[in-house]
Amino acid sequence: MSFGLLSPSEDPREPICVLMPVYDDWESARILARDLLSKLTPRSGTPRLIFVDDGSQQLFSTPSPAVEEDKIEVLHLRRNVGHQRAIAIGLAHVQATGGYRALLVMDADGEDTAEGALRLLERFDELGGTQTVFGARRRRTEGFAFKIFYRIYRVLHYLLTGREAREGNFCVLPRQHVDRMAAVSELWNHFAASVFKARLPIDRLFIDRGTRIAGASKMNFLSLITHGLSAISVFADVVGLRLLIATSFLGFAVVIALVMVAVIRFTTGLAIPGWATAATGLLLILLSQAGLLAFVFVFIVLQSRNMASFIPLRDYSFFVQSVEFHRVQDG
């Protein structure tokens, strides 16, 4: 079975590349790697597996000689940079080294499953290999409190950016999209949001979330808040513009209220002594605050238009300490 339509630069014999950031979660990553090999190899050949070691305190295993089959490439980073930035560095490394026809990005803890990866690749194939396919969550396994805060975050994200936040890192990108993403500076903050910011053609496939294979999650409540704010920050220009419009409406409403106070004070006998002065003072404070906020949001929009400080393809190598190859069965 063919794996979709290929561009002239793509070789149908080149493998699928699987990119997974890992921080001290090697047991889950090792089991998932074996599962991926068993599921993906019959369909599209032996995948190229890459673990991005995000400054783990534990070692994966002792290096073993590079082999042709069943090998894992471990990209050791010089320091812990966080989940999203590890993906950015890994993606730039994949783009720079080549030798793949599509890139599958997934978590290594087992919540993104090998079965889900196979479904993503099948959908990718159905679309001719020309669109990035995200695995949107249809069912989550977290607790009630997390789901409540996640709902609040999704509403806030939609109000500030104008788009829903349904996607995580689980997706497959065609090679030409990886080439484009390697020059997207927002990739340093949040992977999924930067894909949307780059205006790539995207499709969604609803997939149930799996369960963690081993160990406990390294994410805590503060980490989740940081993760959400990072996604919103990718759309800083849109957020700034929306808030500027909102503060402009607030300022307009305050001006209308000031006019109404003046009308009531000078044309009617309804005003209580001292009421007009107090109301005017309060409204003038609100007006000054609205003006200050509008000034700040203008600079947010202008700052977001400045030249990017981090370009993945240019800067990723500064964070790479070494690259090692391991056999899957080394465990």
Instruction: Tell me what pLDDT residue 235 has.
Output: 85
Which helix H or strand E contains 151, and what residues bound it?
Answer: helix 144-161
Q: Which of 34-38, 191-195, 270-274 has the lowest mean pLDDT?
A: 270-274
pLDDT tens per residue across span 18-52 = 999 999 888 899 899 999 999 998 888 889 999 99
Q: What is the pTM assigned to this prediction?
A: 0.80
Stretch 189-216: mean pLDDT, rounded?
87
Closest CA to 319 of 308, 331, 311, 307: 311
The larger pLDDT score, comparing residue 295 to residue 161, is at 161
Stretch 54-70: mean pLDDT, rounded?
61
- Of the spans 5-14, 124-133, 152-161, 163-172, which averages the highest pLDDT? 124-133
What CATH number is given for 16-143+166-219+311-330 in this structure?
3.90.550.10
Rounded to 5 degrees, what are φ and ψ at 104? -105, 120
Q: Is the CB of residue 21 less than 8 Å from the CB of residue 85?
A: no
Which helix H or strand E contains 173, and what residues bound it?
Answer: strand 167-174
Instruction: Tell me what pLDDT residue 20 has.
Output: 96
Angstrom distance (rounded) from CA 236 to CA 240:
6
Stretch 236-263: mean pLDDT, rounded?
83
Contacts (Cβ under 8 Å, ≥6 apart) of 186: 193, 194, 197, 198, 234, 308
- Where residue 174 falls (left for φ over 0; alpha for ψ -120 to 50; beta otherwise) is beta
Question: CB-based burial of residue 104 (10 Å sphere; 0-12 exposed, 13-18 middle, 19+ buried)?
Answer: buried
Q: Is the CB of residue 76 less than 8 Å from the CB of residue 322?
A: yes
Residue extents of the structural domains in the chain = 16-143+166-219+311-330, 237-304
Angstrom distance (rounded) from CA 212 to CA 289:
47
- Where residue 110 falls (left for φ over 0; alpha for ψ -120 to 50; beta otherwise) is left
Q: Is the CB of residue 14 less than 8 Å from the CB of residue 100?
A: yes
Task: Using the predicted structure, report yes or no on whether residue 331 has a pLDDT greater than 50.
Answer: no
Instruction: Give CB contacts under 8 A, 24+ apart, made by 138-142.
Output: 138/206, 138/207, 138/208, 139/208, 139/209, 140/209, 141/111, 141/209, 141/211
Task: Using the predicted structure, report yes or no on whether residue 320 has a pLDDT greater than 60.
Answer: yes
Question: What would the two tokens of residue 209 be?
Answer: 């979330």
Stretch 101-121: mean pLDDT, rounded?
93
Question: What would the two tokens of residue 248 be?
Answer: 């402009």
Instruction: Tell me what pLDDT residue 282 has.
Output: 84
Q: Is the CB of residue 21 less than 8 Å from the CB of residue 111?
A: no
Task: Using the predicted structure, report yes or no on whether residue 4 has a pLDDT greater than 90.
Answer: no
Neighbours of 300 (CB within 10 A): 15
